[in-house]
């Protein structure tokens, strides 16, 4: 039985946030009669200049845009334990660590110092496991060890040997955990790589960290700017949270070229702007015979991306309903992060004021809805040169066109999950969510001031 773990998160955009966790033990009263011991892991916040990080995304997903928030988990690995820092990524399967000192790279795991490190031979069944993370098939190296290459959308890659090792999560040993001991290549940003040791894959694949730990579920709650949040591993219920709305995960047994079978896939059935439902054919939300058009809930992606025809309909309706309320940025060449082409100019006289009332955008899933409103609809890009010398601030619509980043899918990003309690129930194969104030959730769990 794996203990439930709570992780305190803190976000501050317009900076890249690196979050490092330390262990404190608490007893939390859940909805059960007896208190349940949970592990609260407060996180240390480090800020980096905006735009300096590009999260590695498997090339099969074809996402190459940058993210301004990364979550890193600090734990120990090996015998004796070595400290490592891993990027938490629900969109990836294979966890990996840098195992060789590279130029400008100081954060590494040294397998030669660990008595519990075991490289995986080519004859191992794990070496024959097919995953979306390996567009290049695994192979045997000259030592007959299982060699893997993970490629990313920006044409970078990282490679090394599969191995098993003991990972200590909140002090609890997880022996025999499969991971990649990578000794060559880079992810996307050498400067940021120097601050982290690797990546922790958290999707539904058999090699993911959550699958290997045998966790029944995990949850998180992301606050808005300059606020804290929580990440919880394990099964815990809180009376103050109230009922969650659930939507089933989609399972696809047939291998399809553009369908990620281990992603957190749900059924998107429609979109409303204000009270108006977009007039779209229901078939446009259903994956086609190639798997193109699945809907993935991904905390590793910042914004939400929609297939071209759906994005166009949403864009037109949002512009129509905000006419006279927002001023369009008159610069057809300005596209934020390569996919956000609906941007607005906000006058300097409003910089200290909240945005005007905006129509909510509601994502309609099977059995549940997620409403995006207020500040989550627009993202402050800054005083961009597109403002042509004025002191205006540019805000962009937080929905993008997936075709502009070369992805054949709908992706629900973490920006639209702010102040939503998100639960990934792996046993019952469903995603649950409930609107809440995440800073208050942190306080209720003894982590807020």
Classify residue 434 by burial, with Cβ atoms within 10 Å: 0-12, 13-18, 19+. middle
C-alpha R_g of the chain: 22
Q: Helix (H, G, I), strand (E, B), or coil: what is residue 77?
A: strand
Taken in order 209, 286, 65, 272, is the CA torsion positive or negative? negative
Taking the C-alpha atoms of residue 58 and residue 56, their distance in angstroms, rounded to an integer, is 7
Taken in order 191, 194, 195, 197, is the CA torsion positive or negative? positive
CB neighbours of residue 108 within 10 Å: 19
Which contacts qualify for 332-339: CB closer than 8 Å, 24 or more apart? 334/384, 334/386, 334/394, 335/404, 336/379, 336/381, 336/396, 337/65, 337/66, 337/303, 337/400, 338/64, 338/65, 338/404, 338/405, 339/65, 339/305, 339/400, 339/401, 339/402, 339/404, 339/405
**Residue 80: cis peptide before it, omega within 30 degrees of 0:** yes
193 is catalytic: no
Query: Within 13 Å, how many C-alpha atoms sit on residue 397's CB side?
Result: 29
Tokens for 354, please give them.
């909240």
Taking the C-alpha atoms of residue 241 and residue 85, their distance in angstroms, rounded to an integer, is 31
298 is catalytic: yes
* One-character DSSP codes across 217-232: EEEEEB-STTEEEEEE
Q: Among the options 193, 235, 260, 298, which is catalytic?
A: 298
Residue 44 has φ and ψ, to the nearest 5°, of -85, 135
Q: Which residues are catalytic?
A: 89, 298
């Amino acid at each position: 039985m794996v203990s439930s773990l709570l992780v305190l998160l803190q976000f501050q955009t317009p900076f890249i946030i690196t979050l490092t966790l330390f262990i404190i033990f608490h007893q939390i009263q859940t909805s059960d009669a007896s208190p349940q011991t949970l592990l609260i892991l407060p996180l240390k916040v480090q800020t980096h200049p905006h735009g300096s990080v590009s999260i590695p995304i498997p090339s099969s997903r074809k996402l190459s845009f940058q993210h301004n928030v990364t979550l890193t988990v600090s734990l120990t690995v090996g015998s004796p334990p070595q400290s490592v820092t891993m990027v938490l990524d629900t969109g990836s399967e294979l966890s990996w660590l840098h195992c060789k000192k590279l130029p400008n790279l100081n954060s590494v795991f040294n397998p030669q110092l660990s008595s519990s490190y075991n490289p995986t031979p080519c004859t191992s069944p794990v070496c024959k496991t097919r995953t979306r993370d390996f567009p290049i098939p695994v192979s045997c190296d000259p030592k007959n060890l299982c060699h893997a290459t993970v490629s990313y959308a920006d044409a970078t890659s990282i490679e090394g040997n599969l191995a098993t090792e003991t990972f200590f999560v909140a002090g609890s040993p997880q022996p025999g955990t499969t991971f990649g001991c990578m000794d060559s290549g880079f992810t996307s940003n050498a400067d940021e790589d120097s601050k982290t040791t690797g990546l922790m894959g958290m999707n539904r694949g058999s090699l993911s960290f959550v699958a290997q730990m045998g966790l029944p579920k995990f949850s998180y709650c992301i606050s808005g700017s300059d606020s804290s949040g929580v990440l919880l591993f394990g099964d815990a219920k809180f009376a103050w949270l109230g009922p969650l709305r659930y939507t089933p995960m989609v399972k696809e047994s047939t291998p399809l070229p553009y369908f990620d079978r281990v992603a957190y896939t749900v059924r998107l059935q429609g979109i409303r702007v204000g009270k108006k439902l977009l007039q779209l054919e229901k078939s446009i939300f259903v994956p086609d015979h190639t798997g193109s058009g699945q809907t993935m809930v991904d905390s590793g992606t910042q914004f939400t991306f929609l297939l071209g025809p759906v994005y166009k309909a949403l864009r037109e309706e949002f512009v129509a309903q905000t006419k006279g309320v927002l001023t369009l940025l008159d610069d057809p060449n300005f596209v934020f992060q390569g996919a956000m082409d609906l941007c607005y100019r906000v006058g300097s006289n409003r910089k200290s004021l909240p945005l005007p009332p905006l129509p909510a955008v509601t994502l309609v899933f099977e059995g549940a809805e997620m409403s995006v409103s207020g500040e989550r609809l627009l993202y402050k890009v800054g005083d961009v040169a597109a403002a042509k010398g004025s002191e205006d601030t540019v805000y962009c619509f937080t929905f993008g066109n997936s075709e502009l980043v070369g992805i054949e899918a709908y992706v629900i990003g973490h920006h639209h999950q702010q102040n939503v309690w998100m639960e990934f129930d792996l046993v019952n194969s469903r995603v649950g969510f409930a609107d809440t104030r995440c800073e208050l959730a942190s306080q209720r769990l003894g982590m807020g001031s």
